[in-house]
């Protein structure tokens, strides 16, 4: 796979390694929003983003990175939710602890009073009605005060619990936005990187999973011939077709640029190939026309690489092998499905530089 950065073609044998190397070189902090920004800039799916990233220079500060990120990624506006949530939760917890400490002190004082009262009642000097009446009044007052304080503590605790639940809801919403590609509304690369390793959580079940990677053929042609709005529409059409073709519980992600990925659970090689072919056929049959002018932008096709989880050692190996199958699908004429086998490794070495979008 290749990408354009500064007008040069760079072979992306390992996109993650390339991103991390760039971040280290430029002194960019390794936080999720920076990773996404650098990945998309290096991927060059949006030339304007790539140019702005390059214009930041060798050592961009976080404020500059966030300004660019907020411009191209809607969810970057939500970073303040996470930045402020930690302090807010800390304040709420501290407030709750103070209330509990006060309640503990009040209960200890009340317990001490009960003990002293018991001692006084137990003595002969406490036999008079006047003394007993005084003790009962004192206990009644102390009990009422303690119950009232306890009621106040409970009310405060309920308020704090509600406020913390609101913070949790804000964080859940941020997580959803941060893991969603804003253009296609599919899961993004961050979500994909989190989901793929789960395949290997169980050695017993890993043999029943598979990865499908799809890449739009000649995607650059749509951008160059018709402009980026049409290119964005192509991405949206492919995403919509994949979503409608697959079950709702199937994980689908836009992993970068014009590439998509599907993680299948509880599947066989035969079923996986049927699913991949169904995706390819559905996309090929979907027209891309301008509804107002009637202009036909030409067919959309995808090349697809497949790898069964049982043919890989871990998530990284699984992705690399599915990618190899994708490369050979491209080299074999595009608009086809290839499944990885061990014999492909030698072919990819000979044909690597032939592959282009």
Residue 187 phi/psi, 5-degree rounding, is: -65, 150
Task: Determine how many CB atoms are found less than 10 A away from the CB of residue 165.
Answer: 10
CA dihedral for 158, 164, 166, 169, sign (positive or negative): negative
> Which helix H or strand E contains 280, and what residues bound it?
helix 269-284
- Residue 172 neighbours by CB distance under 10 Å: 10
**Cβ of 94: how many Cβ atoms within 10 Å?**
10
Kindly report the CA angle at 239 between 236 and 242, in degrees rounded to 5?
150
Q: How far apart, in whole angstroms, are the C-alpha atoms of residue 302 and residue 334?
A: 7
Q: Which of the residues 159, 258, 277, 284 is marked catalytic?
A: 258
* Phi then psi dihedrals of residue 216, to 5 deg: -70, 130
Structure tokens at 279: 């995706």
Cα separation of 279 and 335, whole Å?
Answer: 11
Residues 303, 336 contacting (CB under 8 angstroms): yes
DSSP element (H, E) containing 4: strand 2-5
How many CA atoms are closer than 13 Å to the CA of 238, on its beta-carbon side?
A: 29
Confirm whether 52 is a catalytic residue.
no
Active-site residues, by number, are 258
């Amino acid at each position: 796979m290749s990408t354009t950065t500064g007008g040069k073609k760079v072979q992306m044998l390992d996109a993650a390694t390339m991103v991390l190397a760039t971040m280290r070189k430029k002194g960019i902090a390794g936080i999720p929003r920076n990773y996404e920004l650098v990945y998309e800039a290096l991927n060059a799916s949006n030339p304007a983003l790539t140019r702005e990233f390059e214009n930041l220079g060798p050592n961009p500060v976080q404020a500059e990175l966030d300004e660019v990120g907020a411009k191209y990624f809607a969810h970057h506006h939500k970073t303040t939710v996470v930045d402020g949530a930690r302090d807010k939760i800390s304040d709420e917890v501290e407030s709750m602890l103070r209330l509990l400490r006060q309640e503990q002190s009040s209960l200890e004082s009340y317990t001490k009073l009960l003990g002293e009262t018991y001692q006084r009642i137990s003595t002969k000097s406490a036999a008079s009605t006047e003394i007993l009446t005084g003790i009962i009044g004192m206990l009644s007052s102390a009990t009422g005060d303690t119950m009232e304080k306890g009621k106040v503590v409970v009310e405060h605790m309920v308020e704090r619990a509600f406020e913390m639940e609101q913070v949790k809801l804000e964080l859940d919403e941020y997580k959803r936005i941060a893991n969603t590609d804003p253009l296609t509304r599919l899961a993004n690369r961050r979500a994909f990187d989190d989901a793929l390793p789960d395949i290997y959580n169980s050695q017993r079940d890993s043999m029943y999973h598979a990865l499908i990677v799809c890449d739009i053929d000649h995607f650059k042609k749509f951008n160059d011939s018709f402009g980026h709005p049409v290119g964005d529409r192509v991405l949206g059409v492919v995403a919509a077709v994949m979503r409608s073709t697959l079950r709702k519980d199937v994980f689908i992600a836009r992993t970068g640029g014009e590439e998509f990925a599907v993680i299948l659970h509880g599947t066989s090689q035969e079923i996986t190939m049927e699913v991949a072919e169904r995706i390819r056929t559905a996309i090929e049959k979907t027209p891309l026309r301008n509804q107002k002018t009637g202009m036909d932008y030409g067919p959309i096709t995808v090349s697809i690489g497949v790898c069964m989880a049982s043919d890989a050692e871990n998530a990284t190996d699984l992705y690399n092998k599915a990618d190899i199958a994708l490369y050979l699908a491209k080299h074999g004429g595009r608009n086809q499905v290839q499944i990885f086998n061990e014999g492909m490794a030698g072919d990819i070495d000979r044909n690597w530089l032939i592959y282009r979008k």
